[in-house]
Structure 1
Amino acid sequence: MNIEKGGGIIHSINDKGELLPEEMDTINRLTELPIHSLNLEAIAAATNVYRVAQGLRNKMEQEVLSRYGLSWTAFSMLYDMWIWEAVETRKLATSAGVSKATVSNITKTLENKNLCYRKSDATDKRLTYVVLTEKGREIMEVLYPLFHKGEVEVFSELTVDEQKILSNLLRIVIRSNHF
């Protein structure tokens, strides 16, 4: 089935009619606008990536992270420290998608919980690293398997091959946009 506007096809629905109700509502609203080159596929991709990201974040905060008194961003920072040992604050901000001020505030909270500490670079005092404590490492070793279980649940309807395809497509978007 094709949805047309101004004599041109602006969206094709596959044989299974797999559009979400929200996508149909969006299409119905946007086709009313005087936009001549509406790319509904790009809109659908962006909207669905956002919905999955928000859904994953909400699920993990409610089902896993809240037990440890952690927000998504705090967990992201702990995860980066767990993987890379010491992480420079600018890299933490970029990785978590937040400002350096947010990193500073969350670092204070994590320091108060004895999960990390700050240290200055030995050669360049302008650089500050955040380092996981032993307690932080122990928490991550317990927390990450629970977190991973939630990740697996979110994508359980996809085959392993579909998960690989999705990952590869998202990598293309990440690289081409320097995210």
Structure 2
Amino acid sequence: MERLNKRSLLRNEEHDTLSKLKQMHVESLNLEAISIATNLYRSAQRLRVKMETEVLSSYKLSWTAFSILYDLWIWGRLETRKIAELSGISTATASNVIKTLEKKGFCSKSIDTRDRRLVFVSITAAGKKVIEELYPQFHKGETQLISGMTKEEQETLKKLLRKVADNLHTISFDGNQ
């Protein structure tokens, strides 16, 4: 019952938002684009908060810190700019999160001997232990996220989200492509 109330509330919120935007005098208002972007944003935010609260809080990790630790676990040694790119954050933010992870003993930094501007980060044994303990719970959340979908719906959503991600790599919001 509570799920139905939340769904109803979300649909009302979406309807109210679209109604308000229809009143604006914006040339060629694309309500479908607004609805898709809004739902994508809200879904991502809810997932992030839920994972931080229910899974990552046991190690006092933010979504971004977990993301960086995960990337180091998967890819091994990475340069700071690559970490920032993979996480979708600035290099300054990546550097700050890496400092926090380093203080916790989850990663270590090294400077390139040929170019001192390049900083490489590696996961430590303690970082591997944490990610290997956390990931099963994290994956359970990923699985629950799609539990109400058929395999066909999951496949369709996966393909559509890839298209969205690809679009974000090729478009510019200032109108230049």
TM-score between the two structures when normalised by the length of structure 1: 0.85
Match of 2:34 in 1: 43
- CA distance in structure 2 between the aligned counterparts of 1:88 and 1:36, rounded to whole angstroms: 43
Match of 1:82 in 2: 73
Match of 2:122 in 1: 131
Aligned residue for 1:131, secondary structure, equals strand
State the Cα distance separating 1:120 from its structure 2 match. 1.9
- CA distance in structure 2 between the aligned counterparts of 1:31 and 1:176, rounded to whole angstroms: 25
Out of 20, 24, 28, the residue aligned to residue 11 of structure 2 is 20
After superposition, residues 1-179 of structure 1 pair within 5 angstroms as: 20-178=11-169
Name the one with the larger strand percent. 1
- CA distance in structure 2 between the aligned counterparts of 1:30 and 1:113, rounded to whole angstroms: 46
Question: Could you list the runs of 5+ residues in structure 1 that have no partner in the other structure?
Answer: 1-18
State the Cα distance separating 1:125 from its structure 2 match. 2.8
How well do the aligned residues superpose, as a CA RMSD in angstroms? 1.5
- CA distance in structure 1 between the aligned counterparts of 2:114 and 2:44, rounded to whole angstroms: 38
* Higher Rg of the two aligned structures: 1
Percent identity, aligned pairs only?
Answer: 53
State the Cα distance separating 1:160 from its structure 2 match. 2.1
- CA distance in structure 2 between the aligned counterparts of 1:97 and 1:75, rounded to whole angstroms: 13
Name the one with the larger helix percent. 2
Residues 47-83 of structure 1: CA deviation (Å, up to 9, x unaligned): 0000110010000000000011100110000000000
TM-score between the two structures when normalised by the length of structure 2: 0.86
Residues 73-108 of structure 1: CA deviation (Å, up to 9, x unaligned): 100000000000111101111121211111111111
- CA distance in structure 1 between the aligned counterparts of 2:15 and 2:109, rounded to whole angstroms: 49
Aligned residue for 1:161, secondary structure, equals helix
Pairs aligned (count): 161
Moved over 6 A (4+): none
The residue identity in structure 2 corresponding to 1:27 is L
Aligned residue for 2:108, secondary structure, equals strand
Aligned residue for 1:125, secondary structure, equals coil
Alpha-carbon distance change, 33 to 129 in structure 1, aligned in 2, over 3 angstroms? same
- CA distance in structure 1 between the aligned counterparts of 2:83 and 2:32, rounded to whole angstroms: 32
Question: Could you list the runs of 5+ residues in structure 2 that have no partner in the other structure?
Answer: 1-9, 171-177
- CA distance in structure 1 between the aligned counterparts of 2:27 and 2:126, rounded to whole angstroms: 57
